[in-house]
Structure 1
Amino acid sequence: MKQHGFRIELPHQTLDIDGNELFGIRPYELMVSSIAGCSAAVFRKIIEKQRLEIDDLEVAAEVERDELAANRISKITLTFIVRGYHLDRGQLEKDLELAQKNCSMVQTVKDCMEIEERLDLVHLNHLNHY
């Protein structure tokens, strides 16, 4: 415990947690980060296993909270932004569905909140590189 919130010593870093973002990461942000990070890591692993070539993978999270129910998280929308040259939307959509089924964090909370996943493809061409 510290003056504001708590400090957690992890093997690779120290993490300050507090309901006030001035003093640390907020608890709901940790949950969203865990879900987004797990889902993205599983998605990436599937893409790599299939030897699909992508240039970059980014995930953005939008959160909806229910003020009438202790401000609980009611929905998380994850948008996966995949950049690459020869992207196959159909294959990547299947891979994203598989990732959701194999992400332990999504599977842990799927009955408590809505998790929506979207796929945004950015097709690169030779003009994108200078």
Structure 2
Amino acid sequence: MKFKMKEVGFSTELEYGELHVAGDEQYGFRPYQLMVSSIAVCSGGVLRTILKKKRMEVEDISLTAEVTRNEKEANRIEKIQIHYVIKGKDLAHDKVEQAVELAKKNCPMVQSVKDSIEVTETFEIVE
């Protein structure tokens, strides 16, 4: 990836389009937003694949990511709490729980930060 400096922040051209990154939200996505998004969405995508492979009928998955940052240490991300809301029929709690654990172990983004950012996951099932 090649980034070009702008008046505020940087930009890069990717297959999907142009990405603007800046410390100020008026000029682009903030770096921590991209990191949290990468971790949460990667984990959700892996979970979706696992549930599908286990032949569990999932209609929808939504997720929220709560972030804990440490202002005393360069405002670093210390913890990301991901909460899934999984909509489907006849979803067994224990099987979904196993899938969530398996997703965490197989998500490249979660594994990339496992020794520096605590990632926890919870879920609820709705019909």
TM-score range, shorter chain: over 0.9
Question: For the aligned residues, what is the CA RMSD?
Answer: 0.8
Counterpart residue number, 2:110: 106
Cα drift, residue 85 of structure 1? 2.1
For residue 90 of structure 1, the aligned residue among 94, 99, 104 is 94
2-structure distance, mates of 1:85, 1:41? 19
What is the number of equivalent residue pairs in this alignment? 123
TM score, norm. by length of structure 1: 0.92
1:26 has 2:25 as partner: no
* Unaligned residue ranges in structure 1 (runs of 5+): 125-130
Cα drift, residue 120 of structure 1? 1.5
TM score, norm. by length of structure 2: 0.94
- The residue correspondences of 1:20-99 to structure 2 (distance < 5 A) are 20-99=24-103
Deviations 1:71-125 (A, max 9, x none): 0000000001101121211100000000000111111101101111011211x2x
Cα drift, residue 13 of structure 1? 1.2
Percent of aligned pairs sharing the same letter: 47
- The residue correspondences of 1:2-17 to structure 2 (distance < 5 A) are 2-17=6-21
2-structure distance, mates of 1:36, 1:71? 19
Cα drift, residue 37 of structure 1? 1.1
* Unaligned residue ranges in structure 2 (runs of 5+): none
1:116 has 2:97 as partner: no
